[in-house]
Amino acid sequence: MSQSTQTLNAMPTSTAWSNAIGRWLISLRYPAIGITALLAIWWLGGYIISNDPDLWAFANFAPEPTFNALYDLVASGDIWPTIQSSLYRVLVGLFWGVALGVPVGILIGYVGTAMKVANVPFQFLRMVSPLAWMPIAVLAFATWDAAIIFLIVMATIWPIIFSTAHGVRRIDPNWFKVARNLGASGPQMLRRIILPAIMTDVMAGIRLAVGVAWVVLVPAEYLGVTSGLGYAINDARDTLAYDTLAAVVVVIGLIGYGLDSVCSLLIKRFNWHVE
């Protein structure tokens, strides 16, 4: 094959890559504007605080000290065990929230009587702050980790239950009739009809649960543990290390955004509806 032919064959691929990169850069323009505006407001707030005699002690909340502290945390490696501890608690709590919430959601969504019986007590429990269970968690569990995981379960289970139940109720009843006429058993109906049909709703519930769990995590880690992002914030506050405190807040925001993005991708992956 001649060199000119190879060049012609390579051109479409090169053009496609250039177009893809161009579209990606264009898609970033609005997030870039938002982030720039957020940083500008943050810098302005830090400037005002640093020039106020009554507030200058909190000047380390400004962007420059915060990012310097963040660099030190990352470079020293001190932040990684902290992140690992928090992610472990959130993921274990989320696992149990899914393991308990999805079956219960399927049950109350499929069986009308179960929904009528469970709706009022579930709605009542859903409106109780997960942190209100803290004294019970301390008494019921032998370790702080187990108590925090319990609080996260109480934060994650309700959006998963109700989102799953909503997904089950949206399934066309004719699908069940056809499956029964074809001789489908209960497990087959669950595997072939219910689970594929509700996966988008389940993932939406998990996305909500992750957001709630990540918010609950920080105050839950004030409970007495000596690791985790919540502990790091509490420790930085007690030692007046406001730059480190702000750096940990940035880390919490970044990880939370990353977890939400993963859930968003999973929702798109399991969305079988044709728009």
pLDDT of residue 242: 86
SS3 (DSSP) at 74: helix
pLDDT of residue 275: 43
What angle is formed at CA 160 by the lines to CA 157 and CA 166, rounded to 5 degrees?
A: 140
Check residue 207 and give left, alpha or beta (phi > 0: left; psi -120 to 50: alpha).
Answer: alpha
Residue 112 burial by CB count (10 A; 0-12/13-18/19+): exposed, middle or buried?
exposed
C-beta separation of 229 from 82 below 8 A? yes
SS3 (DSSP) at 175: helix
pLDDT of residue 270: 72
Domain 74-270: CATH superfamily is MetI-like (1.10.3720.10)
C-beta separation of 124 from 138 below 8 A? no
pLDDT of residue 274: 42
Lookup: tokens for 215 = 């918010």
Q: What are the backbone angles phi and psi of residue 156, rounded to the nearest 5°?
A: -95, -25
SS3 (DSSP) at 192: helix
* DSSP string of 100-119, one letter each residue: HHHHHHHHHHH-HHHHHHHH
**Can you tell me the distance from the alpha carbon of 8 to that of 191, in angstroms, rounded to the nearest whole number?**
49
Q: Which residues contact 45 (CB under 8 A, 6 or more apart)?
A: 61, 62
List the chain residues with pLDDT less than 50. Answer: 1, 7-8, 10-11, 274-275
DSSP state at residue 133: G
What residue segments make up the domains of the chain, in order of their start?
3-59, 74-270
Torsion of CA 207, 210, 215, 217, to 10 degrees: 180
pLDDT tens digits, one per residue of 58-86: 777 888 888 899 999 999 988 999 999 99
Specify the pTM.
0.80
